[in-house]
């Protein structure tokens, strides 16, 4: 009897020891198995690498609590699940969930002012009730703190307005990238610099103010007056050439070329033809080429903007007077196409439509070295092309071509180039060019390292509208006739972040959590079956376990 008691105590101690050992080992070794089809609980490898290499603690305050709409609660749950995954990858991650509006009126007002100073603003949603409507305020932000630096992160992918299931799902898709991007910027402590070129009639400060405002929290934004410089600093993150209207002299082209050869990145936002809506009120308009003299550079790098105008049946409208009394009506204006991205490329994935103004088509050119050419913005198949020379007027609205004439197919108006580029000036460097290179102690380079550039055949894609009376700017992508704001800003911001993403964190934007809708008809028809199944199966399994355990005990002790 004593031996059985000692044996039982011994077995108990062994089990306790194994349990403690497993817990100790488990505290150092953590793994999960993501069995979901869309891998919603998996973290991409670049993000894991970033988290493992953190040198200090990061505190994440998530302002996503309190009274929330149903969809936002789903976003809250996904955010917590993601941050739990982050914390499992690194002990440097700590997070708290807070409701800034959970106190008294005075406390809430103080909290709103404090957060507004950090560019964190609440969502304002009108909830319809049985007797009256009420205002629901809630936050969808996180604030990340690291070594005295802070970055706010908007957790929703849509600015303002009601949030649909699609908006919430898109926001969940982007959670990992948004947090990883913010952590990367905090840990490096250095904001990349982007600069607008100057000296060729580019868009002025006020015309790109909305875009600059959107970039200042993530990047340093400046200007490069190429008339007063001999070269472009190779440490510049990106050069943006936004709708130039005057020629580029060879000295400036050489600066751009050698900047690219040293790994620089360029965003070319170019109008091929000199035409705008206001010019069409003149009696006769024949669009002509802007004398930019950039075709040779682009040709060498793998792109050519054609001297034509794209017409697309998917377009926005303009408003015109239709009689002497000034009566106005709206008309489809085929030269202002709406580009709806269909690609899975992370720059445009899940983006809304992008509104362009008088774009031209872009062809790809074979290059000496390998350059990957990705059509990033493409029209619909229902298109026509107007090739120069031609007369352009509003008369086209009186005689719209029949549907079978819109047969030019899908056309490219935005092209992403990635690879190693060859210099336009290989074998023909002048004495003046050599003198410039000697002054800056920089050798001539005939081929670039791996780098990227973007070519868009519409300089107005980055231009915001301006109210002349007070010089107030309107949101980038805002269409004054429809009152709708298109995704121009998101496209440009995504493009810059992708091109400057040396840590490859942009791969996280490719994640997709699928929105699976309930089949209400099938659920109603099979409701009884699933209810009985959920009640009876657990009881059956429990009874089966009880019977099996009883027989096992009888067999064991009968054997003894």
Q: Which residues contact 483 (CB under 8 A, 6 or more apart)?
A: none
Buried b (16+ CB within 10 A) or exposed e, 542-558: eeeeeeeeeeeeeeeee
pLDDT digits (tens, 9 = 90+) for 341-371: 888 888 998 788 999 999 999 999 999 999 9
Lowest average pLDDT, out of 24-28, 113-117, 355-359, 542-546, goes to: 24-28
More confident residue, 476 or 512: 476
More confident residue, 266 or 321: 266
Structural contact between residues 375 and 415, judged by C-beta atoms closer than 8 angstroms? yes
Under the banding of pLDDT at 50, 70 and 90, the label for residue 65 is confident
Tokens representing 555?
Answer: 């067999």
Q: Which residues contact 533 (CB under 8 A, 6 or more apart)?
A: none
Q: For position 546, what pLDDT does the model report?
A: 82
540 and 399 both lie in a single domain: no
Residue 511, pLDDT > 70, answer no
pLDDT mean across residues, the chain: 85
335 and 390 both lie in a single domain: yes
Last residue of a domain, one of 137, 164, 187: 187
Tokens representing 487?
Answer: 């995704």
Mean pLDDT across 239-263? 95
181 and 195 both lie in a single domain: no
Positive or negative torsion for Cα 11, 12, 15, 16? negative
- CATH number, domain containing residue 224: 3.40.50
**3-state DSSP call for residue 296?**
helix
Q: For position 59, what pLDDT does the model report?
A: 92
**Closest listed residue to residue 89, CA positions, set 41, 57, 51, 55:** 51
55 and 159 both lie in a single domain: yes
Under the banding of pLDDT at 50, 70 and 90, the label for residue 39 is low
Last residue of a domain, one of 147, 170, 187: 187
133 and 269 both lie in a single domain: no
Q: Is residue 515 part of a domain?
A: no
d(CA 138, CA 446): 55
Q: For position 56, what pLDDT does the model report?
A: 86
CA torsion 97→99→100→102, rounded to 10°?
-150
389 and 497 both lie in a single domain: yes
Q: What angle do CA 147, 149, 155 make, to 5 degrees?
A: 120
CA distances, 409 to each of 91, 313, 319, 357, 442 (Å): 53, 11, 27, 19, 46
pLDDT digits (tens, 9 = 90+) for 142-159: 999 888 888 888 888 765
Burial environment of residue 484 by CB neighbours within 10 A (0 to 12, 13 to 18, 19 or more) = middle
Q: For position 513, what pLDDT does the model report?
A: 52
144 and 239 both lie in a single domain: no
Mean pLDDT across 505-528? 64
Positive or negative torsion for Cα 47, 52, 54, 56? positive
489 and 540 both lie in a single domain: no
More confident residue, 520 or 544: 544
The conformation of residue 510, written as its DSSP 8-state character, comes to G
Q: Is residue 1 part of a domain?
A: yes
Residue matched to tokens 């103010």:
209
Q: Is residue 519 part of a domain?
A: no
23 and 95 both lie in a single domain: no
Q: For position 25, what pLDDT does the model report?
A: 67
pTM over 0.85: no
Positive or negative torsion for Cα 242, 246, 252, 257? positive
Element (H, E) at 186: helix 165-188
Residue 515, pLDDT > 50, answer no
Q: Which residues pair with 220 in a beta bridge?
A: 193
505 and 537 both lie in a single domain: no
Mean pLDDT across 365-381? 94
Element (H, E) at 532: helix 527-559
Q: For position 136, what pLDDT does the model report?
A: 75
First-to-final CA distance of the chain: 13
Residue 5, pLDDT > 80, answer no
Residue 108, pLDDT > 90, answer no
**3-state DSSP call for residue 356?**
coil
Last residue of a domain, one of 170, 187, 204: 187
Q: For position 358, what pLDDT does the model report?
A: 95
Mean pLDDT across 273-291? 85
Structural contact between residues 454 and 499, judged by C-beta atoms closer than 8 angstroms? yes
Q: Which residues contact 17 (CB under 8 A, 6 or more apart)?
A: none
Tokens representing 62?
Answer: 């998530």
Structural contact between residues 202 and 248, judged by C-beta atoms closer than 8 angstroms? no
Residue 263 C-beta-side C-alpha neighbours within 13 Å: 9
CA distances, 466 to each of 181, 205, 241, 281, 473 (Å): 32, 12, 20, 20, 4
**Closest listed residue to residue 350, CA positions, set 155, 168, 152:** 168
Q: Could you tell me the maximum CA-CA distance found in the chain, to the nearest angstrom?
A: 114
244 and 371 both lie in a single domain: yes
Mean pLDDT across 449-469? 94
Q: Is residue 148 part of a domain?
A: yes
182 and 195 both lie in a single domain: no
Residues of the chain with pLDDT > 90, as a percent, come to 37
d(CA 305, CA 117): 44
CA distances, 83 to each of 95, 166, 270, 453, 534 (Å): 7, 22, 42, 34, 32
Domain of residue 212: give its range: 191-510
More confident residue, 267 or 17: 267
Structural contact between residues 437 and 230, judged by C-beta atoms closer than 8 angstroms? no
Domain count, the chain: 4
Under the banding of pLDDT at 50, 70 and 90, the label for residue 262 is very high
Q: Is residue 520 part of a domain?
A: no
- CATH number, domain containing residue 145: 3.40.30
Residue 225 CB neighbour total at 10 angstroms: 11
CA distances, 215 to each of 30, 73, 161, 192, 193 (Å): 38, 29, 22, 11, 10
Structural contact between residues 255 and 232, judged by C-beta atoms closer than 8 angstroms? yes
């Amino acid at each position: 009897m004593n031996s059985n008691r000692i044996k039982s105590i011994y077995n108990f101690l062994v089990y306790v020891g194994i349990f403690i050992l497993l817990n100790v080992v488990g505290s150092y070794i953590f793994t999960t198995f993501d069995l979901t089809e869309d891998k919603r609980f998996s973290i991409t490898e670049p993000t894991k690498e970033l988290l493992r290499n953190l040198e200090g603690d990061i505190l994440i305050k998530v302002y996503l609590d309190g009274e929330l709409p149903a969809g936002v609660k789903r976003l809250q749950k996904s955010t917590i699940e993601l941050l739990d995954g982050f914390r499992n990858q690194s002990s440097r991650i700590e997070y708290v969930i807070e409701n800034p509006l959970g106190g008294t009126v005075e406390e809430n007002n103080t909290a709103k002012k404090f957060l507004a100073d950090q560019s964190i603003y609440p969502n304002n949603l009108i909830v319809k009730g049985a007797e009256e409507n009420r205002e629901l305020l809630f936050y969808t932000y996180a604030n990340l703190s690291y070594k005295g630096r802070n970055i706010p992160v908007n957790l929703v992918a849509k600015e303002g307005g009601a949030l649909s299931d699609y908006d919430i799902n898109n926001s969940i898709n982007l959670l990992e990238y948004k947090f990883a991007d913010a952590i990367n910027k905090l840990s490096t402590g250095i904001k990349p610099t982007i600069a607008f070129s100057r000296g060729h009639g580019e868009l002025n400060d006020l015309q790109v103010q909305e875009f600059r405002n959107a970039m200042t929290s993530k990047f340093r934004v400046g200007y490069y007056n190429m008339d007063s410089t001999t070269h472009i600093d190779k440490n510049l993150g990106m050069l943006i050439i936004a709708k130039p209207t005057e020629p580029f002299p060879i000295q400036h082209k050489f600066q751009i070329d050698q900047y690219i050869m040293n790994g620089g990145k360029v965003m070319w936002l170019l109008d091929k033809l000199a035409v705008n809506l206001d010019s069409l009120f003149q009696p006769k308009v024949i669009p002509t080429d802007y004398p930019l003299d950039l075709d040779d550079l682009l040709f060498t790098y793998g792109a050519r903007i054609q001297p034509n105008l794209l017409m697309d049946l998917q377009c926005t409208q303009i408003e015109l007077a239709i009689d002497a009394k000034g009566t106005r009506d709206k008309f489809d204006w085929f030269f202002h196409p709406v580009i709806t991205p269909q690609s899975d490329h992370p720059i445009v994935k899940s983006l809304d439509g992008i509104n362009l103004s008088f774009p031209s088509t872009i062809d790809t050119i074979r290059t000496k070295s390998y350059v990957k050419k990705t059509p990033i913005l493409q029209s619909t198949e229902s298109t026509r092309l107007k090739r120069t020379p031609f007369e352009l007027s509003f008369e086209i609205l009186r005689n719209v071509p029949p549907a079978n004439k819109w047969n030019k197919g899908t056309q490219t108006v935005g092209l992403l180039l990635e690879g190693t580029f060859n210099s336009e000036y290989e074998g023909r460097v002048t004495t003046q060019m050599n003198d410039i290179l000697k002054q800056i102690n920089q050798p001539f380079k005939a081929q670039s390292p791996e780098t990227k550039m973007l070519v868009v055949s519409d300089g107005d894609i980055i231009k915001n509208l301006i109210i002349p009376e007070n010089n107030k700017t309107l949101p980038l992508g805002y269409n004054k006739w429809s009152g709708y704001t298109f995704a121009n800003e998101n496209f440009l911001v995504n493009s810059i972040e992708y091109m400057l993403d040396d840590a490859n964190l942009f791969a996280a934007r490719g994640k997709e959590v699928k929105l699976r809708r309930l089949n209400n008809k099938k659920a109603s028809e099979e409701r009884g079956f699933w209810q009985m199944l959920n009640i009876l199966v657990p009881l059956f399994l429990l009874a089966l376990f009880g019977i099996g355990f009883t027989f096992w005990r009888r067999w064991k002790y009968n054997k003894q």
